[in-house]
């Protein structure tokens, strides 16, 4: 499961990195080192031109936690921050978005919590947060783009549209599953257009484009428990634990 992540790239950096145009909501983008469910975050989507029918990448923002168009209450989004890729094409919550509204979620990395084994007496030791990133602990490297789905919701009585998204996850097997048994999918740069393409693809064709974002592929290091509290933010949260003490 991916339940907290960090992103620091500006709107200009994201449009450059993803060769995307700037969408109407993208001016709201700010760095967030403790991105949590329901917060607004950047995402890359495909927009189809009304005249030519051609698609192009666009940078937009949406709230984390997908709210399906038929939902009676947008609060359901807080329970749909991740979608299991094995079943997303079948589940009513994600089915329409999986078929037509796929996205790339830019991030620097994501957090996972490890529960150390108990000594057998007394309470369990506190969980240790880790940061998993394509960048090194000193910040060298590029940011990630992980696979997501997005949706639009509007109250039955009318009003403003709400844009929301979820992150697609896959199994993290073997040693990679020690931190958590689920991991986001990475969208490699050469497959972004194919992943965003709203044309109908079979699930196996789409997942053949992606690779799991597991610690065996990325850099992983322990960070301060300050990330446990959503109110805490800033680059100190992603620094190695030894560097923050």
- Residue 52: what pLDDT? 64
Checking if the pLDDT of 48 tops 90, the result is: no
- In this predicted structure, what is the pLDDT of residue 180? 76
pLDDT at 80 over 70: yes
pLDDT > 90? residue 89:
yes
pLDDT per residue as tens digits for the range 182-210? 899 999 999 999 999 988 889 999 999 99
Q: Given a cut of 60, is residue 245 above it in pLDDT?
A: no
In this predicted structure, the answer to whether residue 90 has a pLDDT above a threshold of 90 is: yes
For the chain, what is the domain count?
Answer: 1
Structural domain harbouring 67: 5-116+125-244
Cβ(66)–Cβ(55) below 8 Å: no
Model confidence pLDDT, tens digit, residues 55-73:
899 999 999 999 999 999 9
Residue 130 C-alpha from the chain's centroid: 16
More confident residue, 139 or 71: 71
Residue range 110-132, pLDDT digits in tens: 999 988 776 667 677 788 999 99
Predicted local confidence at residue 35, as pLDDT:
98
What pLDDT band is residue 175 in, cutting at 50, 70 and 90? low
- pLDDT at position 23 over 60: yes
For the chain, percent of residues with pLDDT exceeding 70 = 92
Per-residue pLDDT at 174 exceeds 80:
no
pLDDT for 117: 74
CATH number reported for the structural domain that contains residue 133 in this entry:
3.90.1680.10
Using H for helix, E for strand and C for coil, what is the string for the chain? CCCCEEECCCHHHHHHHCCCEECCCHHHCCCEEEECCCCEEEEEEEEECCCCCCEEEEEEEEEECCCCCCCCCHHHHHHCCEEECCCCCCCCCCHHHHHHCEEEEEECEEEEEECCCCCCCCCCCCCEEEEEECCCCCCCCCCEEEEEEEEEECCCCCCCCEEEEEEEEEECCHHHHHCCCEEEEECCHHHHHHHHCCCCCCHHHHHCCCEECCCCCCEEEECCHHHHCCCCCCHHHHCCHHHHC
pTM reported for the whole predicted model: 0.92
What is the pLDDT of the chain when averaged over all its residues? Answer: 91
Question: In the prediction, which pLDDT does 47 show?
Answer: 87
């Amino acid at each position: 499961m991916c339940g907290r992540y960090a992103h620091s790239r500006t709107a200009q950096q994201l449009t450059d990195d993803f060769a995307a145009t700037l969408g109407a909501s993208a001016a709201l983008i700010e760095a967030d080192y403790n991105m949590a469910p329901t917060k607004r975050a950047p995402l890359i989507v495909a927009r189809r031109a009304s005249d030519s029918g051609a698609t192009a990448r666009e940078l937009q923002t949406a709230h984390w936690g997908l709210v399906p168009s038929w939902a009676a209450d947008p609060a359901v989004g807080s329970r749909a921050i991740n979608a299991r890729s094995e079943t997303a094409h079948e589940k009513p919550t994600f089915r329409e978005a999986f078929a037509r509204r796929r996205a790339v979620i830019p991030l620097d990395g994501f957090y996972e919590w490890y529960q150390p084994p108990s000594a057998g007496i007394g309470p369990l030791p506190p969980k240790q947060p880790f940061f998993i990133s394509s960048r090194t602990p000193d910040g060298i490297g590029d940011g990630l783009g992980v696979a997501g789905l997005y949706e639009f919701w509007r109250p039955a009585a009318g009003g403003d549209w709400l844009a929301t998204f979820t992150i697609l996850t896959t199994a993290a097997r073997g040693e990679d599953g020690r931190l958590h048994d689920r991991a986001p999918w990475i969208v490699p740069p050469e497959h972004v257009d194919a992943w965003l393409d709203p044309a109908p693809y079979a699930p196996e064709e789409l997942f053949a484009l992606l690779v799991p974002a597991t610690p065996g592929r990325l850099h992983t290091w322990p960070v301060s428990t300050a990330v446990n509290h959503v109110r805490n933010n800033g680059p100190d949260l992603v620094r190695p634990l030894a560097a923050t003490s």
